[in-house]
Amino acid sequence: MTATAVDLTITYLGLSLRSPLIASASPLTGDIESARRLAGAGIGALVLPSLFEEEIVAEEIGLAAALEAGAEDSPEAHGFFPPIEGATVADRYLANLERIKAAVDVPVIASLNATSVGAWSRYAALVADAGADAVELNVYRVAASPYVAGTDVESADLELVADVCRAATVPVAVKLSPYYSAMASFTHQVIQAGARGLVLFNRFYQPDIDLETMDVECRLELSTSVELGLPLRWIAMLRPQVPETVSLAATSGVHTGEDAAKALAVGADAVMMTSELLRRGPERVAGVEAELRAWLAGHEYESAAQLRGSVSRVTAEAGEAFERANYMATLRSWVGAAGRR
């Protein structure tokens, strides 16, 4: 089997993808030129940057305040407000989605980043109407209140997932954080709520402190392959437990074809990348694809799906390694400078 003959096609959220490599949400996928370059370099699908609930809420508050102020000053002033149509964050998002969808020949997945249930879920229907092939719902929450218990957080998230899944006319994948206390049980409930896929995991950006000014700094560090361990572990543990019809995507720490092969080997249907593409440019997709093809051919796999199908062997043989048994062994495997003496 030559590397070029390896079949990379895969099914993700019921969509047939030419490659398991997906560009996860980032400014690259939201820009028409870099979206075209990603598609040209062989990406399997694009996830657009998120439409954030906070942006929509802030805009609504600002608009209401402006209308109120205007109404008090002079009713005629209403006529001078700029037309609302075409100007809102959501409208701009939908227009960009339509443009990108028309510019590339691969599935385009819209991303919604929300925490609360309600009118917000109508955007799930709107992005589908605007041409999104699927929706990725990013549930990004920091449970900072001492009065909100884990069960409250989970039931609020599940309500949101169910709400969005009901409203969307296309498949919904849910991008989760790794911080739920009982991940397997929670993902089971997310699937029960209607999710067709899980995207594991959301990467949290930790603020830093500038010790000179005592300011809080929000600095975005790109990932390294070390971070792949977390999605690998959970995909390995979850794959045998979730129905085959539910897609699993690995995100965080995929930088090479070998990283992608590891994710497929533990049961991922798709492998997402952002940091690597931001660092090295959209054309890096072709390099990662070539590395994946070379690895598959070198190990006598005819297709990505075949490696993906080897999951039961990988997880059965090394099942314990992904669970607690690994903890003690890992600690004891450390051979530092002292150990080598």
Ligand X SMILES: Cc1cc2nc3c(=O)[nH]c(=O)nc-3n(C[C@H](O)[C@H](O)[C@H](O)COP(=O)(O)O)c2cc1C
How many residues bind ligand X (CB under 6 A)? The answer is 23
Site for ligand X in 118-157 (CB under 6 A): 138
68-71 own/partner pairs: CB under 8 Å, 24+ apart: none
Q: Does 177 bind ligand X (CB under 6 A)?
A: no
Render the burial of 162-191: b for 16+ CB within 10 Å, e for the rest.
bbbbebbebbbbbbbbeebeebeebbebbb
Q: Does 284 bind ligand X (CB under 6 A)?
A: no
Site for ligand X in 258-277 (CB under 6 A): 273-275
CB of 79 to ligand X, least distance (A): 36
Q: Does 96 bind ligand X (CB under 6 A)?
A: no
CB of 166 to ligand X, least distance (A): 21
Q: Which stretch binds ligand X (CB under 6 A): 19-27, 95-103, 239-247, 279-287?
A: 19-27
Q: Does 34 bind ligand X (CB under 6 A)?
A: no
201-204 own/partner pairs: CB under 8 Å, 24+ apart: 201/175, 201/176, 201/177, 201/230, 201/231, 201/234, 201/251, 201/252, 202/138, 202/139, 202/140, 202/175, 202/176, 202/177, 202/178, 202/251, 202/252, 203/227, 203/251, 203/252, 204/142, 204/177, 204/179
Name the residue nearer to ligand X (CB basis): 22 or 301: 22
CA–CA gap between residue 84 and residue 1 (Å, rounded): 58
CA–CA gap between residue 222 and residue 161 (Å, rounded): 28
Binding test (CB under 6 A) with ligand X, winner from 19, 177, 187, 223: 223
With contact defined as beta carbons under 8 Å apart, do 308 and 277 qualify? no
Amino acid identity of residue 68, one-letter, is: E
Amino acid identity of residue 61, one-letter, is: I
Q: Does 175 bind ligand X (CB under 6 A)?
A: yes
CB of 195 to ligand X, least distance (A): 15
Q: Does 20 bind ligand X (CB under 6 A)?
A: no
With contact defined as beta carbons under 8 Å apart, do 231 and 201 qualify? yes
Q: Which stretch binds ligand X (CB under 6 A): 67-75, 124-132, 219-227, 330-338?
A: 219-227
With contact defined as beta carbons under 8 Å apart, do 166 and 130 qualify? no
Q: Does 247 bind ligand X (CB under 6 A)?
A: no
Binding test (CB under 6 A) with ligand X, winner from 49, 107, 231, 267: 49
Binding test (CB under 6 A) with ligand X, winner from 171, 253, 257, 267: 253
Name the residue nearer to ligand X (CB basis): 10 or 301: 10
With contact defined as beta carbons under 8 Å apart, do 206 and 280 qualify? no
Q: Does 203 bind ligand X (CB under 6 A)?
A: yes
- Alpha carbon distances (Å) from 226 to 78, 87, 223, 340, 341: 55, 42, 8, 23, 27
Name the residue nearer to ligand X (CB basis): 93 or 301: 93
CB of 132 to ligand X, least distance (A): 14
With contact defined as beta carbons under 8 Å apart, do 284 and 34 qualify? no
Q: Does 198 bind ligand X (CB under 6 A)?
A: no
Kindly give, in sequence order, each residue whose CB lies less than 8 Å from that of residue 322, ignoring residues fewer than 6 positions away. 233, 236, 237, 315
Name the residue nearer to ligand X (CB basis): 119 or 218: 218
Q: Which stretch binds ligand X (CB under 6 A): 14-22, 38-46, 249-257, 280-288?
A: 249-257
Q: Does 315 bind ligand X (CB under 6 A)?
A: no
Binding test (CB under 6 A) with ligand X, winner from 19, 43, 45, 50: 50
Query: Footprint of ligand X on this chain (CB under 6 A)?
Result: 24-27, 49-50, 111, 113, 138, 175, 203, 220, 222-223, 227, 251-254, 273-275, 278
